[in-house]
Structure 1
Amino acid sequence: MSRENEELIETLWNHIWIDQSLDRLGEVLADPFVRHTRDGTEHTTPQRYARHVSSSVATIRSTRLHFDQISSLDDFVFARLTLEGINVAIGSTLKITWLAQYRIAEGLIAESWSMHQTGLDW
């Protein structure tokens, strides 16, 4: 089950965030989905999360994603990843690193805790 949970997180990032296959969100996110970020806690739906993803990457092109580490324990997946691309709004390269923990319930991502930082090299 652990590898299946990790694949769920890889699908979220590779297919939803990078490929923009937002129609696949129902395959990976629970409804509701709970996000914990520096901005607080949000109870959201896959549809609202799709809008968040879309607006977050609207100005980023030539995007590359690398999982620096991914591991799982029981119903939790832990990931350290790096996203690189070009911010076309300002014409410069962009690097964002993430630390994230995900809770999986009934085969879907039910909850996430994440922090990100621009310009950080692991």
Structure 2
Amino acid sequence: MQGDPRDVVARYWDGLWHRHDLGVVDELIAEPYVRHSSAGTRAVSRTEFKKELSGAWRLLHDATTTVDDQVADGDRVWTRATTQGINLDTGAMTVVTWLTVHRLEGGLITESWTASLPGVDWRR
């Protein structure tokens, strides 16, 4: 699967973080998928990634995610996105800003670097 890296990453954000469609993992994510975050660096299978996504989706009720800014250069796409939803533990409206760089190979997302900023809303 080949395509404009921005289109692939846009489908990632829409499918996973807007529509909560786990089928997008099989369509867009390489195996293994290397994830870099504040929790460390690890390679995960598609199955493991789907489990992590399902857990993340349960944290916020009625969550919506918007892509606020995006830049592509070669095989990398930088995205700033915002997720807003109700935290089921506290009942409070919660916002998280994401800064993510995705690297693609052969039209699949093979690696990402992500920083999440809970409580930060840069949309204003």
Q: 2:81 corresponds to which residue?
A: 81
SS of 1:58's partner is helix
Return the offset for 1:89. Answer: 2.5
> Take 1:24 and 1:116, find their aligned partners in 2: how far apart are those partners?
21
CA distance in 2 between partners of 1:59 and 1:42 (Å)? 22
Root mean square deviation, CA, Å: 1.3
Structure 2 unmatched runs, 5+: none
TM-score for both structures, normalised by structure 1: 0.92
What does residue 115 of structure 1 align with?
115
Between Structure 1 and Structure 2, how many residues are aligned?
120
Q: Which runs of 4+ in 1 moved over 4 A?
A: none
Counterpart-to-counterpart distance in 2, 1:54 and 1:104: 23
Report if aligned partners of 2:35, 2:113 keep a CA contact under 8 Å in 1: yes
Q: What residue ranges of structure 1 are gaps of 5+ in the alignment? A: none
Q: 1:25-64, CA deviations, whole angstroms, 9 ceiling, x for partnerless residues?
A: 1111000100000111010111110000100111312222
**Is 95-104 or 82-91 further displaced after alignment?**
82-91
- 3-state secondary structure, aligned to 1:27: helix
